[in-house]
A = this chain, B = another copy of it.
Amino acid sequence: MLENILSKAKSLIEEITEENDILIDATCGNGHDTKFLASLTGPFGKVYSFDIQDDAINNAKKLTQGMTSIQFIKDSHANAKNYISSNVKAAMFNLGYLPKGDKTITTKSESTLKAVTQILDLLVPGGRIVIVVYHGHPNGKEEKDDLEYFLSTLSQDKAKVLEYRFINQKNNAPFIFCIEKAQTAES
């Protein structure tokens, strides 16, 4: 069976990640991806997990008790460079709102683009940013359009940008952008 969106998003990270890698969960949410990333990199790796909401970080901390590689950061992913200097292997984004949380608090174009730009700089050559785009909420279409325009104009010398999408699904089904930094790009 063709891999569905959530499974493919994980596979795209898993394919390139090794123990002890530095990883980013750019949208901590309830912590499911943070837990997944921490299990990949192991106890001596590092996962930076960003969220602006206390609820998200508290839920994620409960879910990941005992996983010592995780550093939770209560700040916008748009400030990633304030906390991380280089050598990131992979990063995940789940755009939209906190599941079961306040649906009016969503990721937004400006900060999403800023975060993607910063994290792309932080990636090692061959590193990946995987973005699951949820665009059914009110700001979602604008964020999707802005992101798509931004990514479609990224230089091929800098990165490849893959779109993985099921085109015959209803209700603004989520899809994936995967940005892979060029082997020859500066890290």
Contacts and interface: CB of A to CB of B under 8 A. Distances in A.
Interface of A: 1-2, 126, 148, 151-156, 159-170, 177-178, 180, 183
A168 to B, nearest CB: 4
21 contacts: A1-B126, A1-B180, A2-B160, A148-B167, A151-B167, A152-B168, A153-B168, A155-B168, A156-B168, A156-B169, A156-B170, A159-B168, A160-B166, A161-B166, A162-B164, A162-B166, A163-B165, A163-B166, A163-B167, A164-B164, A167-B177
Contacts of A163: 163-167
A155 B166 CA distance: 12
Determine how many copies of this chain the complex contains. Answer: 2
Contacts of A161: 166-168
Contacts of A164: 162-164
Nearest to A177: B167
A159 B165 CA distance: 14
B126 A151 contact: no
